[in-house]
Structure formats: C-alpha cells, structure tokens
Amino acid sequence: MAPSKPLFPVAVPAPDPSDEVVREFGPLLRIYKSGRIERPLVAPPVEPGHDAATGVQSKDVHLGSYSARLYLPPSAGAGAKLPVVVYVHGGGFVAESAASPNYHLFLNRLAAACPALAVSVDYRLAPEHPLPAGYDDCLAALKWVLSAADPWVAAHGDLARVFVAGDSAGGNVCHHLAIHPDVVQAQRARQAGAPPLKGAVLIHPWFWGSEAVGEEPRDPAARAMGVGLWLFACPETNGLDDPRMNPLAPAAPGLHTLACERVMVCAAEGDFLRWRGRAYAEAVAAARGGDLGEAAGVELLETMGEGHVFFLFKPDCYEAKEMMHKMVAFINAP
C-alpha cells in the first residue's frame, strides 16, 4: 500500500539570514558560520543499475568508510577476462562522488568501450574527513580490487591488467597509489605472483608547487591562487611542495619507483594545470631513461581548445570522444 500524502504542504524552513558564508572555494564548496556545508556544483546522485545506452550493469558495494561502484560491460558474459580500471573522481578532494551523473555516464561509456570492468571509488571528502582520509580510502579500494574479494572481479577481472585512472584530484590520487610503498612492494613481488599495475591514466592531474614549470605564472601572488583549497583539504600538509601535491619536489619519492608499466597523462590547453601535467609526464619518461613515447612507456595527450575536465561537461564533443578513444587504446595495448 502506497504511503498517504500529507494533507497540508510541508513547510521548509527558510535559511537563517544570519548564517553567513565564512569560507568559499568557487563552485565546489561553501561553508557557513553555523557549520552548514554546501556543494553547489554537485548534481543529485544517480542510482546504479542497467544502462540502456551501453548495456553496462553497475552496482554499489559498501566497504566501511568508503564504497565502490562497479561497472560490468555486456561482453563480460563472453568468457574472456577483462582489464580492470580503478577510477578516482575529481572535485578538489571536497566534492563529487562515484554517483555523480557526469562520472556515472563516463564510467558506463568507458566500461563498454574497452570493454573493461570498472571500479569507481567513492572516497571520503574533506572537510568532514580531511586528507589523508581520501588517500587512505583509495588505497584500501585498490587493495580490495587486487584481492578479488568481489564476485564480479573474481569472475571477470584480469588482475594482470589492472589500471588506475582519475581526473584532477583523482589524477593526483592515482600518482599517490602508483608510488605508494605497499603498491611498489607488490610490483617488486611480481615474480612471486603478486598482481602488478599495468598502467595509470592521469587526466588533468591536480599537481602544483612553489616553483613554476613550463609557462606557469612566476608571480607569487598568482601562484598562491588555488593554494587555499589544498591547505584546507589537507591541514597536515607542509605546503605546496608536499610530495602529495608536488611529485617533482626534492623530497618526493623517485619517479622511477612508480609501480606501473605504462603511464598516460592528459592535459588541456585552457587548463592552468596544463604545464604541470606536461612536466610530470616528461619527468616520468626521463626517470625511465627516455623521452615521451612508446619506448619509455609514457604517453601525453594534449587537447587543444578545451579546459579543465571538459570531457565531463561536454561528453559528446569531438575532443571528449578522442580522449576516450586514446584511453581505450592505452588500456587495450599489449
């Protein structure tokens, strides 16, 4: 029996006019004097299930402090094992989720196009859970995938072809995962049967640093723009040259220790992070003794005429389709 409707409209209390905004980070996060938090950019979440456009089936798995949304393409029934893509969403460590409509659409399409078994990590966000909580959740999720504890992963995932991928803050996390001591040790134990990371895809990764690279602005005031969000999300940080924000910093682990066979970095012409992404790709290639390209196992895709994470907001544009095509080719390469 359906629940009865209320006889009278339910009154929604008007916002307290004295509850003023005390911190604001663009459209990502707004914090009020009362402690109330708004995330204006984030659209209502979408439920998992069958995607009619791609035939992909998705489900949510709750894993304590975090959860994961898994995507299984229709080709999974053919019997061949599929590459596994562990995806980390962006949002400055303070916004978005695996259930955000733009990410749900992207993961459905990626899983179908490869085809691959995709695992989108729904990690804890700051300020409710300051970093390193998000990093910890994503590391736990990667270990969970590698353990094949989920029936979909056990039945359909090829654990010799596991990729990490993510955009913006998620791209930052992918580097953190690939260079984390636990993952590095697994890579070194490959001969003993431990599953390695086949590759990493960093889309418009959020890296920064005290010293400019490429054509980044040199002016200290300009370089300070955007720093506040990192300091806010990670109160324990020692600043912009924290290795988690600046993998090129002197104190950062050597890039030669990245626990993945291949790396793909995507950059966009209109993104202020463009030069940082390029510098990262070049540094990884140099650490492997070569230049960008197949020999060093490092690819750089630079999209002209587009801005930061454009593929989420214009998923049907030519450039977004080209990026998807390049990602699929990278994941399916031998």
Q: DSSP letters along 11-32, please?
A: PPPPPPTT--EEEEETTTEEEE
Name residue 84's beta-bridge partners. Answer: 117, 162
Is 229 among the domain residues?
A: yes
Assigned domain for 326 exists: yes
Catalytic one among 168, 180, 204, 242? 168
Domain of 65? 53-330
Does residue 48 lie in a domain region?
Answer: no
Name the helix (H) or strand (E) containing 117.
strand 117-122
Q: Looking at the whole model, is its pTM more than 0.75? A: yes
Summarised one tens digit per residue, pLDDT across range 4-55 is 444 444 454 556 767 899 999 989 999 999 999 999 999 999 999 999 999 9
Kindly state the tokens that stand for 130.
């300051």
pLDDT at 12: 46
- The answer to whether residue 271 is catalytic is yes
Query: pLDDT (tens digit, 9 = 90+) per residue, 65-74?
Result: 999 999 999 9
Is 269 domain-assigned?
yes
Count structural domains, the chain.
Answer: 1
Check residue 5 and give its pLDDT: 44
Q: HSE-up of 146 (CA within 13 Å, CB side)? A: 22
Q: Does residue 28 form part of some domain?
A: no
Helix axes 318-332, 101-113, angle to 10 degrees: 50
CATH of the domain at 135: 3.40.50.1820
Q: Is residue 171 part of a domain?
A: yes
In a domain, 207, yes or no: yes
- Tell me which DSSP letter residue 106 carries: H
Sheet bearing 37-38, strands edge to edge: 21-25, 29-32, 37-38
Question: Is position 176 annotated as part of the catalytic site?
Answer: no
Type of residue at 226: G
State the catalytic residue, choosing from 122, 150, 167, 271. 271
Q: Distance of CA 189 to CAs 196, 214, 254, 260, Å?
A: 8, 37, 19, 13
Q: Which member of 89, 175, 180, 308 is catalytic?
A: 308
Residue 18, both tokens: 């004295």
Is residue 168 part of the annotated active site? The answer reads yes
Q: For residue 45, tell me if it sits in a domain.
A: no
Burial (Cβ within 10 Å: 0-12, 13-18, ≥19) of residue 326: middle
